[in-house]
Amino acid sequence: MRKNSVLEKAAGDDLSLARQSFDETGQTYAVFGHQFYSAQSWTTKRRVIHKAEVVSLPGREPRDNLRFVVTNMDLHSEQVYDIYRQRGDSENRIKELKDELDLGRLSCHGFWANQLRLLLSAAAFVIMQLLRVRLAKLGMETSQAGSLRLQLLKIGGRVTRSVRRVVVHLAAAHPWAKEWQRAARAWGAVAT
């Protein structure tokens, strides 16, 4: 839900508490709460969860981050917020599947051809998820499928194979060569 002056005022005490905790610890700090609110177009008051957070980013000034969610759930505010955050994350995965892995690209005339395209998009998504899990140690677990594809998969190179090994030769000017090497090692490759 969008911020407005009424909601910001209702979350003001929690935001002050988050600022105070941030000043003491220097770390990002969030306080969750709720209030009952009725917009002009609503006939009844509804429960609105808020997250009042002060975010610490390296090399930047701390910033306030107020978020609001309208709900009918009777759980603790932080639990409700987490449920809606996970829902938003799953919607991002659907968007990623549709936009970056061409799930909706079913332009063939035949049913079976379109089914194959759909299955290939779904398989690509599963591979991207596995890639993310493997790359968690490298801090790339939140990378979008399009970024992973561009940085790690959609690159030019020369592959040579001998009896004992397969060697991938990347272009010297490849902008993500270090990331590619780290990812390859995470998957079990050995540097030569």
Per-residue pLDDT, averaged over 78-103, amounts to: 86
155 band by pLDDT with thresholds 50, 70 and 90? confident
Cα angle for residues 161, 162, 164 (degrees, 5° grid): 115
Q: Are 32 and 49 in contact (CB under 8 A)?
A: yes
127 band by pLDDT with thresholds 50, 70 and 90? confident
* Domain spans of the chain, in order of start: 5-88, 100-186
Cβ neighbours around 86 below 10 Å, total: 10
- Tens of pLDDT, residue by residue over 133-154, are 888 877 777 788 888 888 888 8
The percentage of residues in the chain with a pLDDT greater than 90, rounded to a whole number, is: 26
The reply to whether the predicted model has a pTM over 0.75 is no
Distance CA 120, CA 72 (A): 39
From its phi and psi, is residue 156 left (phi > 0), alpha (psi between -120 and 50) or beta? Answer: beta
